[in-house]
Amino acid sequence: MLNYRWNFKDKPDESTVKQLKESLKIPRSLAKVLMARGVGSDIEAKKFFDPSLEDIHDPFLMTGMDVAVDRIIRAVKNKELIWVHGDYDVDGTASTSMILQFIRDIGGVIEYYIPDRFHEGYGLSILSVDTARLRGASLLVSVDVGITSYEPLQYAKKIGMDAIICDHHEPGDELPPALAILDPLKPNDPYPFKYLAASGVVFKFIQAISERLNIKEKAFEYLDYVAIASAADMVPLIGENRVLSRFGLELLNENPRPGLKGLIYCTQLKPGSINSSSIVYSLAPLINAAGRLGDAKRSVEMMTQKDEIAAFQIAQQLEQENRRRRAFDEATFEESIPMAKKLLEDKTRRSLVIHKPNWHAGVIGIVASRLVDKFHVPTVLLTSIDGLAKGSARSINTFDIHSALKKTGHMLIEYGGHKHAAGLSLDEKIIPEFRRQFDDIAKEKIKIDMLKPEINIDAELRLNELSPAFLKHLRRFAPFGFENYKPIFYSKNVTSANGIRVLVNKHLKFRAYQSHFVIDAIAYNLAHKVHICSSGKPFAIVYNLEEVNYNGSPTIQLRIKDIRAEE
């Protein structure tokens, strides 16, 4: 079992806490949470609690935007065929759906291409460019891919096809030849917010086109796609992402488009209660299922459907495929665990590189993430496709896995991604040497204390502070997601009011008691700590608060992250 370090945020300045508490009329503990989120003034707090679309950045701050907007407007006016090349994950298919619908809505001619995960792999390809040429396309737009696709874009330039890249991944040492590159991570790009999902970059493109065409409000019709993709792609829900996601969630809840309504019905979610967590655990797996086990174009066809019944039928197919995907996922995870344990018998090892030729490529990324959760080391999981080892890399918070792959780039056929997640391919024969070199980098960067996962605690809380007013203010911290997680609270001198129930030998359920206040608590995967909370002695807990339905009525419970005996 992993043992956690409890990391208390730096003690905030008490005068600022008092000022925020009094001016915003919020509980002191929530004023501390605000400060832990980097919000330290009344003005910042009001923008945080009441975000406005007026506060988002000018899209023309992104270099290449002027050129890209001029070119696509010319293509729309001249009825040129625009060819969109997307990716097969949620961010890629949502971005493709968004630009597809927008260009059609403003009268353009547009077709799209999503590569086959198993035979073409990740990224823009010469096959896609050739297909575009045969279809008569004169303008190529890549979304969620392209920033490292040097050869395909060189080929596009050679045959006279203009290209616009909309990407959010780290660029390589050399930028590809394109008419315009929209990527806030491009070297020296002045765009002030660097953490957009691909859907965020595509939205900025749409926003710029809408402003140029004097239909400014039109762009905001597509924010539901940005909310879905930003949550699913785990980009930080801070700054501009938080604003875009907030309004995208409103759209998704108040007026879901037909292509998403079918998906919502299929997952049994209810419009009005959909949040970022609903997206991650319910909507995104079905959208992803299309590309994991088959043709990802089905996700685009579903999301762009005008007929919600037809969209629902596609969603039902994807739900069935997602059940199959979970079976592959579980089998792969179970097979990979003993392989991981064998490698980790070497106590100096700081990473995992695991390969098995017959693993299903559609679940490699999911299983790599599960292995990181289990062993808390950077993990590369590989299968074999057409004689090459292909796979996914996932990391712990303190290790930049994209940078590590860049250092081993001389061994890789291709790679691309982010600090915490990436994809790669290499020759099977050199996997042992890649494993050695990758681990050398991990040993250099990961110190012993970094192998112990942290729980970052926002504030101490007394359970009797949990009033309806407290919960009302807490909801204003949403949307929650990566880097804007639900606040984690700490409470000490807690006991169990009515004993402890152990559920399926894994989880604990009890009523937490402190200072004459009692509340339901659930502790997932913490059954091994039952002795701490059943001894009769007080213990400490770290947790967040979640709303659950009990007999049709909403109620609050503690979702406990860890338990410790009082020292």
Output the CA–CA distances (angstroms, integers) from residue 35 to 17, 38, 42, 457, 458, in the order listed: 8, 5, 11, 12, 9
pLDDT for residue 292: 86
Task: Give the residue among 180, 224, 172, 226 at the shortest CA–CA distance from 203.
Answer: 226
- Confidence category of residue 204, pLDDT binned at 50, 70, 90: very high
Give the containing element (helix H, strand E) for 93.
helix 90-105
The predicted-structure confidence for 273-320, as pLDDT tens digits, reads as follows: 999 999 999 999 999 999 888 899 999 999 999 999 999 999 999 999
Cβ-based neighbours of 194, under 8 Å, separated by 6 or more: 184, 185
| 562 C-beta neighbours (distance < 10 Å), count | 20
Q: Is the pLDDT of residue 118 over 80?
A: no
Is CATH 3.40.50.410 the right assignment for the domain spanning 344-451? no
Burial track 71-84 (b if 16+ CB lie within 10 A, e otherwise): bbeebbeeebebbb
Average pLDDT over residues 251-272: 93
What does residue 85 show for φ and ψ, rounded to 5 degrees? -110, 115
pLDDT for residue 416: 86
Task: Give the residue among 120, 112, 4, 166 at the shortest CA–CA distance from 543.
Answer: 4
Average pLDDT over residues 74-90: 97
Mean of all residue pLDDT scores within the chain: 94
Burial track 436-458 (b if 16+ CB lie within 10 A, e otherwise): ebbbebbeebbeeebeebeeebb
What CA–CA distance (Å, rounded) separates 279 from 317? 18
In this structure, which amino acid lies at residue 433?
E
Average pLDDT over residues 121-140: 93
Q: Which residues pair with 547 in a beta bridge?
A: 556
Q: Is the pLDDT of residue 1 over 70?
A: no
pLDDT for residue 379: 98
- Percent above pLDDT 70 for the chain: 99
How many degrees, rounded to 5, is the angle at CA 213 between CA 211 and CA 218?
A: 65
Pick the CATH number of 454-565 from 3.40.50.720, 2.40.10.120, 2.40.50.460, 3.30.365.10: 2.40.50.460
pLDDT for residue 174: 92
Cβ-based neighbours of 239, under 8 Å, separated by 6 or more: 193, 195
pLDDT for residue 431: 97
Here the tokens at position 119 are: 């035979």
pLDDT for residue 120: 75
Q: Which residues pair with 140 in a beta bridge?
A: 83, 163
Q: Which sequence spans correspond to the domains of the chain? A: 56-247, 256-324, 344-451, 454-565
What does residue 11 show for φ and ψ, rounded to 5 degrees? -60, 120
Cβ-based neighbours of 427, under 8 Å, separated by 6 or more: 388, 389, 413
pLDDT for residue 547: 85
Q: Is the pTM of this model over 0.95?
A: no
Best-predicted range by mean pLDDT (36-40, 98-102, 482-486): 98-102
**CATH architecture for segment(s) 56-247:** Alpha-Beta Complex (3.90)
Q: In the 3-class helix/strand/coil scheme, how is 190-253 assigned residue by residue?
A: CCCCCCCCHHHHHHHHHHHHHHHCCCHHHHHHHHHHHHHHHHHCCCCCCHHHHHHHHHHHHHHH
pLDDT for residue 355: 98
pLDDT for residue 304: 97
* Helical H segments across 344-400, by residue range: 364-375
Average pLDDT over residues 73-90: 97
- Percent above pLDDT 90 for the chain: 85
What CA–CA distance (Å, rounded) separates 546 from 466? 12
Average pLDDT over residues 488-515: 94
Q: Is the pLDDT of residue 554 over 80?
A: no
Q: Please tell me the number of Cα atoms within 13 Å of 353 on its side-chain side.
A: 24
pLDDT for residue 176: 96
Output the CA–CA distances (angstroms, integers) from residue 231 to 221, 246, 281, 479, in the order listed: 18, 11, 10, 9
pLDDT for residue 513: 96
What CA–CA distance (Å, rounded) separates 242 from 244? 6
Average pLDDT over residues 195-210: 98
Average pLDDT over residues 219-227: 98
> Three-state SS for 457?
strand
Q: Is the pLDDT of residue 408 over 80?
A: yes
In this structure, the strands spanning 454-457 and 5-8 are: parallel
